[in-house]
Structure 1
Amino acid sequence: MYTAKGTLNRDDQLRKYSPLVRRLAHHMIAKLPPSVELDDLIQVGMIGLTEAIARFEPAQGVQFETFASQRIRGAMIDELREGDWMSRGSRKSQKDIEGAVHRLQQKLHRPPMESEIAKELGMELAEYQHLLAKVRGTQLVYLEDISGHGDDEDSFLDRHMGDTEAEPSAVLQDHRMRTALVAAIKVLPEREQHIMSMYYEHDMNLKEIAAVLGVTESRICQLHSQSIARLRAKLREH
């Protein structure tokens, strides 16, 4: 594992942890629109892994995999910050869906059905489902959340995926968000709860979830997109 100088053996670590890069890339790509290429994320992630190997110091008392995961994610996020990874039209469509869900929840006092959301948007059900797949709206984070151009002064990712030595207020804010997110997931329709649980708790990708539920991956993508729209609408209350 280590060279004669006490540093990590680069080639050994690259081979051992390249599956970690792929796993993190697959997990992140599901939160992004189709314009983002998986291979691009993997390539950037490998650069992050290389930097982690070079900078890792066992004396810091942190496991290498934890340290490397932070570096890999950070490299991917930096790449997304620099690129125009979500079109303005896609972002608007996502917000339109989120707005429709929010209005219906306020009106119906329950999670609206797909057909009701489609009607609220003035669409046929098939048209709405096509839109869900097109925008791949699975992100709890929008472009302005990442770039820091939204209503908040600090960016979402800087608050929630920043340095491990975060300010206590940021840690508290993250805890509150996670608590609110768990509560919001519990009031999703049962099928969507299962999908979110498999995705976030069991770290399964959309293809694996589709196989478990016996439906197509595109259908899981639609339902996942819809779930996130519901969650963002619910989190607006926190």
Structure 2
Amino acid sequence: MNKAFGYGQTEGDERSRLIQSHLPTVSLVVDRMMCQVPSFLTRDDVTSAAMMGLLDAANRFDPSRGILFKTFAEHRIRGAIFDEVRKMDWFSRSLRDKQSRVADAMNVLEHQLGRSPEEEEVAEAMGIALDEYRDTLGQIGHLGCVSLHETLDDSDEGRSFLDSLEDPDGKNPEEQLAEHQLTHELAAHLEKLTEKERLVVSLYYYEELSQKEIAEVLELSEGRVSQLHSQALLKLKVKMQKRQR
């Protein structure tokens, strides 16, 4: 850690201060992610992984990069939780196959139609009933494998979809231009979602409502909100992955 410390202050003291002062961040991230992890993971499991992420953030943090510790810590905490989930191998091959089938169908339809497909169109393209398609979305949604918190690359500070809508730290002009273009593209993709999909994304990621609260606001079941959330983010993921090819 490259940081100048005050008189009598050690690097370890500063690390401890960062950890203690950001314990509320752990609770906040855990609260937000409990609906994105499989049911067999307890809150204690998720909190334990999140704490490891905070400790890792405190050890890795370099203030000379111009990044706020809170921003850096949230990345590491979310990543540690997803790592714990992956380590437990809960995302079965069959569900990976289902996710791939949905994404592939969306990709083909978007190319054919020149727009984001409706759920009825995706279900028809997959050769399944609408109810079965929605059930598949619910499975993917509850597993939390498609999230605006997922990073777009594998680096330690890889930007997520959500981060692409923000500018938490200063960049050089070239980086600013690239990120501005990414933000502009993502905003355009959001506009192409259905009204309900946009509302779910907005209420969940911007207003920070829980799925239960969103269900009450939109007068839908929690299951339906989960389906819309999953479908919206799959559409965004398909579009953003096409951008990287």
Q: What's 1:116 paired with?
A: 121
Shift of 1:30: 4.4
Aligned counterpart for 1:43 among listed residues 48, 53, 60? 48
SS, match of residue 73 in structure 1: helix
- Gap change, CA 1:159 and 1:167, over 3 Å in 2: farther
Letter in 2 for 1:160: R
Matched, 1:180 2:208: no
**Quick check: 2:26–2:50 contact (8 Å CA) kept in 1?**
yes
Shift of 1:197: 1.1
- Gap change, CA 1:170 and 1:92, over 3 Å in 2: farther
- Gap change, CA 1:141 and 1:58, over 3 Å in 2: closer
Q: What's 2:146 paired with?
A: 139
Q: What's 1:125 paired with?
A: 130
Q: What's 1:235 paired with?
A: 240
Q: What's 2:159 paired with?
A: 160
Shift of 1:155: 2.3
Correspondence 1:184-195 to 2 at 5 A:
184-195=189-200
**Quick check: 2:102–2:126 contact (8 Å CA) kept in 1?**
yes
Shift of 1:37: 4.7
| Structure 1, unpaired ranges of 5+ | 147-153
Alpha-carbon separation, structure 1, partners of 2:202 and 2:113: 25
Shift of 1:138: 5.5
Letter in 1 for 2:237: R
- Gap change, CA 1:87 and 1:170, over 3 Å in 2: farther
Shift of 1:92: 1.5
Q: What's 1:84 paired with?
A: 89
Alpha-carbon separation, structure 2, partners of 1:105 and 1:12: 46
Letter in 2 for 1:112: P
**Quick check: 2:18–2:58 contact (8 Å CA) kept in 1?**
no
- Gap change, CA 1:183 and 1:61, over 3 Å in 2: closer
| Of 190-199 and 23-32, the range deviating more from structure 2 | 23-32
- Using the size of structure 1 for normalisation, the TM-score is 0.71
**Quick check: 2:37–2:85 contact (8 Å CA) kept in 1?**
no
Q: What's 1:149 paired with?
A: none
- Gap change, CA 1:141 and 1:60, over 3 Å in 2: closer
- Using the size of structure 2 for normalisation, the TM-score is 0.69
Letter in 2 for 1:224: H
Q: What's 1:210 paired with?
A: 215
Shift of 1:208: 2.1
Letter in 1 for 2:223: S
| Of 222-231 and 171-180, the range deviating more from structure 2 | 171-180
**Quick check: 1:138–1:224 contact (8 Å CA) kept in 2?**
no
Q: What's 2:100 paired with?
A: 95
**Quick check: 2:191–2:198 contact (8 Å CA) kept in 1?**
yes
